[in-house]
Every structure is written in structure tokens, then in C-alpha cells.
């Protein structure tokens, strides 16, 4: 997805503008990336871990170990997923945050469909055969740049 272009002649110190991204822009950005961060609560502590993911419908899916910290904490009524990018040379950046319940994918038809999709291999070592779903209840995004 392409965000509005910046005037290359601008310098640091200018006035920054924050623009809310539309739902369509947020989903376009989510579909255009493969790595994000999954946030969840484990033993009363917020944990944020990088994951490789894919978008299917209005949900985010990623694979994890069946005996790891994520698997131990899911299902969860509230979890978060975030992607972002920045261009320090242009004082510009964007961020998308997905909030919603996370669960283990156990439906065989859905698992067959997910295994058939092209997806980046998880960077973490070991078997990553458990699919986790984040059902998007709220999707927000913003783009910050020089005015």
C-alpha cells in the first residue's frame, strides 16, 4: 500500500501531522506485510512477540509451537497485533493495531485452507504447527508525517 508522498525538501523540526488511516488502508497494509507483533497477557504480564502472519478475511493467522508461551496463553478474550514502518529520513511513519480475541484454530476445513496458503515460514526454531487466529474486533491505524 502506498501512503501519501512527502516533500523530499522538508527538514526535521517541522510541524507533524497525525492522520487516522481508514479501515481499508489498515487492511491493505496488513495484507502487504508478513511480520508483525502479537501482544498477549501471560501470568499477569504483557508479552509482545514477533510472528510471521497472513490475513484471511477479517482475521490474522500465525503459526506457533504447541507447547510455547503463546499456546499456553490462548485462547484469550483480548489480544493485540501490530505492524508499523517508519522513515526517519522523512520524519514519517505509520502503525496499524488490531485488537480482538485470539484462539487456537481447530476447524479442519479452515486448517486445510490455511495450510494451502502461501505464508512466510516462522522465524523461530522448532515445529510451528499450531495456527492461532486473532479475530479483529477493532482495527485502527495512523500515519504521522511532516505537514
pLDDT at 70: 97
Query: What does the alpha-carbon distance between residue 122 and residue 54 come to, in Å, rounded to a whole number?
Result: 11
pLDDT at 2: 56
pTM of the complete model: 0.86
pLDDT in tens, 15-37: 889 999 999 999 999 999 999 99
Q: For residue 16, what are the contacts with CB-CB under 8 A and spacing of at least 6? A: 91, 144, 145, 146, 147
pLDDT at 131 over 70: yes
**Which has more pLDDT, 66 or 123?**
66
pLDDT at 142: 97
pLDDT in tens, 52-106: 999 999 999 999 999 999 999 999 999 999 999 999 999 999 999 999 999 999 9
Q: Are strands 130-146 and 59-64 parallel, antiparallel or unpaired?
A: antiparallel
**Which has more pLDDT, 61 or 6?**
61
| CATH superfamily of the 24-146 domain | Electron Transport, Fmn-binding Protein; Chain A (2.30.110.10)
Give the domain ranges of the chain: 24-146
pLDDT at 119 over 80: yes
Query: What does the alpha-carbon distance between residue 129 and residue 135 come to, in Å, rounded to a whole number?
Result: 19
Amino acid at each position: 500500500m502506498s501512503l501519501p508522498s512527502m516533500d523530499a525538501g522538508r527538514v526535521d523540526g517541522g510541524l507533524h501531522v497525525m492522520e487516522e488511516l481508514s479501515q481499508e488502508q489498515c487492511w491493505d497494509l496488513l495484507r502487504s506485510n508478513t511480520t508483525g507483533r502479537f501482544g498477549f497477557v501471560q501470568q499477569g504480564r504483557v508479552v509482545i512477540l514477533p510472528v510471521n502472519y497472513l490475513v484471511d478475511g477479517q482475521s490474522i493467522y500465525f503459526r506457533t509451537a504447541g507447547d510455547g508461551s503463546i499456546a499456553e496463553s490462548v485462547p484469550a478474550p483480548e489480544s493485540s497485533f501490530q505492524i508499523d514502518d517508519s522513515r526517519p529520513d522523512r520524519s514519517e511513519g505509520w502503525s496499524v493495531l488490531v485488537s480482538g480475541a485470539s484462539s487456537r484454530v481447530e476447524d479442519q476445513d479452515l486448517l486445510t485452507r490455511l495450510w494451502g496458503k502461501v505464508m512466510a515460514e516462522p522465524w523461530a526454531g522448532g515445529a510451528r504447527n499450531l495456527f492461532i487466529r486473532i479475530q479483529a474486533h477493532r482495527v485502527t491505524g495512523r500515519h504521522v508525517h511532516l505537514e
